[in-house]
Chains A and B, each alone.
Chain A
């Protein structure tokens, strides 16, 4: 809501600077969004009257005006065309000062002297942008008077953010009233004198309400014989302060009164209302209307419209129709001041995606008692400004719309909610409460001792319950005066549960492994699946779809983190960052089979990726990151979490290289995948080099994380280590060999470690040489050489039989 300091002062006496005022209002809940000092430097601009206009002898586009400024008559050259003889205008004299232009001097144009300039509204700072012609002043303007006497150019404009529960503050009077409550001063409401003359209103208009629920109150007046003109300077200036553009005197008055009182008004050209009848009804199928913004609109059935006997002439509470618009030829108007149902208004604005100053107020719920005041205020102004004659009588379909709501306020309850408050003495507290409520224009109905009966004013539709009143008390009393306390309730301090602690631990380990944590959007594009080679029909393609996404790239909820990490690698390698090692701990979203009714399965995933750059400096290259680096990271995580008994089997995830594609299994369940990203995928993302990546399903991993550690007695007897090297076919898996060795004697063989792997000519094509160290240890004795040799022999025999191993001596 835009308003100015001087404008507010017309409604409330205050001796605060604009800065102080903004500060006070902000801490009371009316937040200042913008403040602008518009003090403009205008000097030597006076009211003049054009007494003659001639064409410039040489320059055809210019006119030479003779302007009477009371003391003398000045020749002034002007390029505008909108002035007539006897118009009153703003004259910038020789040596005058204008805000944007600077100093104006007498000057010759094509041999004719111009002793000043005729000003346009924008040149005076009254309109933003560039005005089409010069400013024509009202006839009442006093000849020769300094323009600064007509308007106060020095002012401060505030733009306040109004909370949606306070539509009463979307008006100058509302804000002034709030200031009054804060500084304890009385509001000055403009007085109205309605001079009814001529015929009765009923002769010219009949109002029929078909939808009382949607339009519970409809008031109106007829004003005749008006003169459509530009608004007088004072009104234009007010509109400028309120942030509105002047159009003509009638429209300007309805706009001004709306912003002054909070009640939207609409003026219809009475002579264009067919059948002399206003009908408030729902639209019928197929009806259309051309609105004031020149848009031809199809009316969805059941939209609330204002219609005449033939067709809709306005969208109720939103915008008027073009057909009955006020224009130069308008003679008589019907002025509407209604209350429309907020919920329905809100639905309609959504349907038309058309939000206006009027709908913005109606949808939040306006004062139910202000209709007649606003109507009469506008009628009075039209009478004064546009010479209109107010027909006698008015229309008001429901004087009793406002039903006072009596609320009981328990004095004790106030301190119970707010804490240390006001005064220890309860009766003093009560007096202070009553005092605050009085400032807010709440009516004290009855004092019942422990509680008081209160009626909120009609403009405070948001106050419905005791708690709402308590908030009002706190607000006006001042949040800053309520003492901060620390509660001392007893509560079991559960802190962080084990699951979240494990998540933290995983993140710590991954950071320790040298990975940088990333956070990426949960959305993906439908193209992602093709890019990471997920075939049609694959379960990963079954993703949650956002109904109305911002962009196609953000239209699905992801089912894997793979593409998100690849995008980040691409972002970085595109910026000459060669080595990228990243991880993310985030959710994927898997739809349940029954899509419509239940929420998806949100699974926490730990994913990491490292690239191997093609270029990069020598040191980084020497790292030569490959699949075993990501596997090593997974192993480090498992080691840190004390997860054991995991195994790796060949995987088949389509995003990975078909053979460098592993699956991690714990107790028969898949816990994660890792591998080298498929070269086609790498190509799709245009990433240089290779990427190795892993994804661990935290939900499957977590049940395998032991929650506590059990100490094992340290071995008392020494261990014996023997090494063993042999040649086997290349496709034999190391994990199978280790498993086989361990099975020979599960009790005495403590550890089997691969310490060398070798391929080469000496070994032969398709073969590899493997070397393992085997550690033997007994818990109850020192093993003898003979015992160890016996087991060792069995190992060799088994390897020969099972894997066709050639033992190297």
Chain B
């Protein structure tokens, strides 16, 4: 009896090795454990055993039955796992097919640059102010120390609406409007469209964007102007840029300074882009002229200030290597989508 049972177990183990799928296992289960299965039949034969032999044989048989059940179960799990894997193997796809993206749009490069500049000055404690684009001659010129017959003022360069109203030629009038309505300290920037009577070519456009800044307080010096604008240049063009302050003339600032940055292309060695000077002019700046303070009722003995202004198009052209200002206003999608 014992030998027989051992033989059955051996037989099962070898048959299990040949099993290919779950059906084979089910066949084996029926063959051995089914109603007419080999093990079941053996169990039925127990009655014919002697009383002494019966308990031992019964125990042996039952244990073997459990073992066989266990073996079948293990094999079954193994097969199931294999079959799952096989199924997954059949589910391959071409991962290089295009994804279903939500086609994102783009910000205009000018606004991208304006935003970046704005962030820098916001982090330095500047507030953003706004003002009209169609402006009074008074704010655009007169209050900025550019009286009617000043050489710096050329009617040819401005779009007038009537004698007193024009399209602002710079964002500086916003400074006057802010100073008129509040007392120092002031730290502000303003951003917006400006207009000059320039026919469009690769470096001119009748409309452009300016960023203007002003800081007024009791002890503001030319050193502060240099400090703040140096921080600005380093943050927008990179820390390895050199900054140069050069004497200039603007009617509304004294002293005045033009700000140059070492050429982005040749790193100061001199190339066509910088006219072989190694420097690129990026903005105008200076300490507010006492005459302007008088126009807004500030005491120049008590307060000093600095102001600066730059063209967003110029900054964007330098930053992105764009060589024609007209591209900004043509709005060709092949251009816009690069930003």
Contacts and interface: CB of A to CB of B under 8 A. Distances in A.
A278 interface: no
Given A29-B248, A470-B255, A599-B132, A514 B102 contact: yes
B151 interface: yes
A400 to B, nearest CB: 25
A486 B227 contact: yes
B247 interface: yes
Q: Considering residues B110, B136, B220, which has the most beta carbons from chain A within 10 angstroms of its beta carbon?
A: B220
A29 B247 CA distance: 4
Given A363-B151, A418-B221, A521-B207, A29 B246 contact: yes
A550 B167 CA distance: 13
Nearest to B253: A471
Contact of B217 (A467, A471, A475, A489): A489
B125 A26 contact: no
B145 to A, nearest CB: 11
Given A346-B151, A496-B122, A514-B102, A520 B224 contact: no
Contacts of B230: 484
Interface stretch (A9-17, A84-92, A161-169, A233-241): A161-169
A548 B195 CA distance: 13
Interface in B135-156: 135-136, 149, 151-152, 155
Contact of A507 (B107, B152, B222, B336): B107
Nearest to A496: B128
Contacts of A518: 108, 331, 336
B105 A510 contact: yes
Interface in A381-405: none
Nearest to B154: A350
Interface stretch (B19-27, B51-59, B80-88, B157-165): B157-165
Given A165-B249, A545-B161, A516 B217 contact: no
Given A471-B256, A511-B104, A516 B336 contact: yes
Interface in A245-268: none
A31 B221 CA distance: 25
Interface in B178-216: 185-187, 193, 195, 197, 199, 206-207, 215
Interface residues of B, number: 80
B206 A521 contact: yes
Interface in B291-334: 300, 304, 328-334
B277 interface: yes
A759 B219 CA distance: 76
Nearest to B249: A163
B247 A164 contact: no
B287 interface: yes
A420 B223 contact: yes
A515 B248 CA distance: 42
Interface in A568-608: 568, 571-572, 575, 577, 580-583, 586-587, 589, 596, 599-600, 602
A445 interface: no
A689 interface: no
A264 to B, nearest CB: 16
B149 A343 contact: yes
Contacts of B257: 479
B31 interface: no
Contact of A587 (B105, B133, B186, B249): B133
B112 to A, nearest CB: 9
Contacts of A765: none
A519 B255 contact: no
Contact of B223 (A32, A485, A513): A485
Contacts of A596: 162
A115 B136 CA distance: 73
A518 B206 CA distance: 17
A324 to B, nearest CB: 29
Nearest to B155: A350
Given A346-B149, A521-B329, A479 B247 contact: yes
A279 B189 CA distance: 54
A718 interface: no
B22 to A, nearest CB: 42
A500 B114 CA distance: 13
Main SS at interface, chain B: mixed
B268 interface: no
A515 B105 contact: yes
A535 to B, nearest CB: 25
B104 A514 contact: yes
Contacts of A496: 118, 122, 127-128
Contacts of A554: 206
Contacts of A28: 247
Contact of A547 (B161, B330, B332): B161
A582 B290 CA distance: 46
Contact of B246 (A416, A479, A510, A523): A479
Contact of A495 (B128, B151, B159): B128
Nearest to B313: A519
B255 A550 contact: no
B76 interface: no
Contact of B333 (A513, A522, A544, A577): A577
Given A495-B127, A520-B331, A487 B217 contact: yes
B337 interface: yes
Given A484-B230, A496-B128, A522-B207, A417 B304 contact: yes
A132 interface: no
Interface in B212-261: 215, 217-224, 226-228, 230-231, 244-249, 254-258
Interface string A338-352: 000011001100100
A353 to B, nearest CB: 9
A549 interface: yes
Given A518-B108, A572-B332, A480 B254 contact: no
Contacts of A602: 132-134
B289 interface: yes
Contact of A490 (B185, B224, B255, B289): B185
B106 interface: yes
Nearest to B158: A548
A496 B220 CA distance: 23
A129 B249 CA distance: 36
A582 B330 CA distance: 13
A26 B331 CA distance: 37
A554 B200 CA distance: 12
Nearest to A587: B133
B223 to A, nearest CB: 3
Q: Considering residues A343, A350, A479, A586, which has the most beta carbons from chain B within 10 angstroms of its beta carbon?
A: A479
27 contacts: A27-B244, A164-B151, A350-B155, A419-B223, A468-B254, A471-B255, A479-B257, A480-B244, A486-B228, A487-B217, A487-B219, A487-B220, A489-B187, A490-B185, A496-B118, A496-B122, A516-B333, A517-B106, A518-B336, A522-B193, A522-B195, A572-B332, A572-B333, A575-B334, A582-B331, A587-B133, A600-B134
Interface of B: 102-108, 110-111, 115, 118, 122, 125, 127-128, 130, 132-136, 149, 151-152, 155, 159-162, 165, 167, 185-187, 193, 195, 197, 199, 206-207, 215, 217-224, 226-228, 230-231, 244-249, 254-258, 277, 287, 289-290, 300, 304, 328-334, 336-337
Q: Which 10 A-B pairs have the closest CB atoms?
A: A419-B223, A29-B247, A419-B221, A163-B249, A471-B255, A484-B226, A484-B227, A518-B331, A485-B223, A479-B245
Given A164-B151, A417-B287, A517-B106, 14 more contacts: A26-B246, A166-B249, A350-B155, A416-B221, A467-B254, A467-B290, A479-B247, A516-B331, A519-B329, A519-B331, A546-B159, A557-B134, A571-B331, A589-B133
